[in-house]
Amino acid sequence: MLSLPARYGRLGALITPVALIVFMIHFLSANFGSEDSLTGSGAIPEAELDAGTSPHEPPCPPPLPGIEDILVVVKTGITEAQEKVPVHLRTTLRCIPHRLIVSDYEEEIAGERTHDVLRRVDPELRETNKDFALYNRAQTHGGRSGLISQDMNKVANGATGMSGNPGWKLDKWKFLPMIHEAAEFRPNASWYVFLEADTYPIWRNLLAWLEPMDPEQALYLGNQMQIEGIIFAHGGSGFVLSQAAMRQLVDFHAPRQDEWDRFTEAQWAGDCVLGEVINKAGIPLTWSWPHVTTGSLWEADAFSHHYQRNVWCSPAVTFHHMNPTDIERMWEFDQEWFANQTHPHLLYSDVFRNLIRPSLNFHRDNWDNLADDKPSPGDHGISPPAIPASPSDCEEYCASLPNCMQYRVDDRGRCTTSKSPIRGVPKSGLRSGWLLDKVDAHVEELGYCDIPAWVMP
Ligand SMILES: *[C@@H]1O[C@H](CO)[C@@H](O)[C@H](O)[C@H]1NC(C)=O
Ligand SMILES: *[C@@H]1O[C@H](CO)[C@@H](O)[C@H](O)[C@H]1NC(C)=O
């Protein structure tokens, strides 16, 4: 599926048919990417700021085979780094030998130095373009004391993201400098893996995915997304560039920076800008959904079938919109799962059986399971419940529809359903329910996967 997150969703009218398939689903989950999901208040109590590496931590196990050849780049920003980066330094990044945290401000976060990649941007542009106001304030005041309350505003106030959010507006300028920073930081890595601070990487699946690929081939792997005519890899889902692709990209962009700065000024999404430079550099995107996705673990739809992809048997390589608690939880599971020698991969079916299914109940109040298929009167000749529907009307309706796995009733008594069981997220005023017998019967039918379904270039 060409999954479009909410911040791209409202551009639907501009999206050409190749992209149309399922992005509607994503319109409705009003979540935002890394730089855009900021905390409401700027100040974070000292006690919550945890050190990344404490002296009590056990030494790292021997490095995972292949991880030495990878540079992991995590993109963050001054308005979110303290909240979102330390958890990674304790978990996913702790034993990663080559890593780089890129930001809009150089500082120490839990013992790790961030790299200010915006120092690479043309100084005149930084002075004149208003997007850099936050950057310039942080520079002038030596960091967070330069931030103002608006910098922490996280309201989505436009069709194209959070145009009222200074950190978000600045974010698009980091993508191209980040590429150059990464190339200089470790020129000889086989693979460059780009993540955001709310992206969860499943390293063993990533390594198994890359293993058969040739880094001397120009490869760009990511979650396909489209804005206007441009197809690119979504930033928050995480994307990968091979050694050859990095060289080709750097050589292409370095002599044309002014031209692409002007292009960036006119765009609102930095991942789209980068994707267009990569396209123009002649590197094709390998459509890598569902290995890399826009959604969190709790939004994962293991039953879905889009783009002829067998999600059930696909390894999950990333989840997005993962908050620090989700990251801790997933890390614990990840460690346990792979400690078992019989588990070379973690498939969506494993995620469903082990993490999602055990968290489902018959129903849950103040909960949104993202069931949003509207009843259609002719559907299998079954009449939808009248509005307002009671939860039991809605449940009964779902029970009578073949393939309906879950339902949701909103605060106005509107009943919607879906064919996939999704755990979902808390949301007041909604009641969500799952038809667990149907879910379990379907899981049985889907069975166990003999071989993982990989997307290959
Ligand atoms: C990359 O360079 C570093 C030092 O510059 C060296 O230690 C390392 O072995 C090289 N790695 C590869 C994959 O060539
Ligand atoms: C390893 O996984 C297999 C299959 O999922 C399970 O039967 C077995 O009990 C697990 N072993 C351990 C030590 O957890």
pLDDT tens per residue across span 252-296: 999 999 999 999 999 999 999 999 999 999 999 999 999 999 999
Domains along the sequence of the chain with CATH: 35-287 (3.90.550), 362-457 (3.50.4.10)
Amino acid letter for position 29: S
Structure confidence at residue 5 as a pLDDT band (50, 70, 90) = very low
For tokens 């150059």, the residue is 180
Q: Which residues pair with 319 in a beta bridge?
A: 200
Q: Which of 338, 340, 346, 347 to mutate to test the pocket of ligand 2 (most atoms within 8 A of CB)?
A: 340
For tokens 């993201």, the residue is 161
Q: Which two tokens stand for residue 207?
A: 């390594």
Contacts of residue 236, Cβ cutoff 8 Å, sequence gap at least 6: 5, 33, 34, 196, 198, 199, 271, 294, 320, 321
End-to-end Cα, the chain, rounded Å: 17
What's the rounded Cα separation, in Å, for the pair 380 and 153? 46
What is the CA angle 272-207-319, rounded to 5?
50
Q: What is the pLDDT averaged over residues 435-439? A: 97
Specify whether the CB–CB gap between 389 and 407 falls below 8 A.
no
What's the rounded Cα separation, in Å, for the pair 270 and 264? 7
Q: Which two tokens stand for residue 311?
A: 């999600």
Cα 338 to middle of ligand 2, angstroms:
10
Ligand 2 pocket (Cβ < 6 Å) reads 340, 342
Per-residue pLDDT of 323-362, as tens digits, reads: 999 999 999 999 999 999 999 999 999 999 999 999 999 9
What's the rounded Cα separation, in Å, for the pair 305 and 348? 12
What's the rounded Cα separation, in Å, for the pair 244 and 218? 5
Element (H, E) at 366: strand 363-368
Q: What is the pLDDT averaged over residues 298-309? A: 89
Give pLDDT, residue 154: 63
Specify whether the CB–CB gap between 254 and 180 falls below 8 A.
yes
Q: Of the given ranges (22-31, 124-133, 139-148), which has the lowest mean pLDDT?
A: 22-31
Closest residue to atom 9 of ligand 2, CA basis:
340
What's the rounded Cα separation, in Å, for the pair 137 and 364? 45
Q: Which residues pair with 368 in a beta bridge?
A: 425
Q: Which of 188, 243, 246, 247 to mutate to test the pocket of ligand 1 (most atoms within 8 A of CB)?
A: 188
Q: What is the pLDDT averaged over residues 67-75? A: 98
Contacts of residue 1, Cβ cutoff 8 Å, sequence gap at least 6: 21, 22, 23, 25, 289, 290, 304, 306, 307, 309
DSSP secondary structure string for all residues of 46-78: GGG---SS-TTSPPPPSPPTTGGGEEEEEE--T
Closest residue to atom 1 of ligand 1, CA basis:
188
Strand order in the sheet with 425-434: 363-368, 425-434, 406-409, 415-418
Q: What is the pLDDT averaged over residues 42-60? A: 53
In angstroms and rounded to an integer, the radius of gyration of the C-alpha atoms of the chain is 22
Q: Which ligand is nearest to the CA of 185?
A: 1
Helix (H, G, I), strand (E, B) or coil at 20: helix
DSSP secondary structure string for all residues of 223-241: -EEEETTEEEE-STT-EEE
The pairing of strands 239-242 and 115-116 is unpaired
Give pLDDT, residue 47: 38
Q: Which atom of ligand 1 is nearest to the CA of 188?
A: 1
Tell me how long the chain is: 457
Helix (H, G, I), strand (E, B) or coil at 427: strand
> DSSP class of residue 374?
P
> DSSP class of residue 390?
P
Give pLDDT, residue 52: 45
Q: Is the pLDDT of residue 221 over 70?
A: yes
Contacts of residue 342, Cβ cutoff 8 Å, sequence gap at least 6: none
Q: Which ligand is nearest to the CA of 67?
A: 1
Ligand 1 pocket (Cβ < 6 Å) reads 69, 188
Closest residue to atom 2 of ligand 1, CA basis:
188
Q: How far is CA 12 from CA 36, 97, 367, 428, in A?
A: 20, 41, 27, 28
Structure confidence at residue 165 as a pLDDT band (50, 70, 90) = confident
Specify whether the CB–CB gap between 282 and 218 falls below 8 A.
yes
Q: What are phi and psi of 441, to 5 degrees?
A: -65, -40
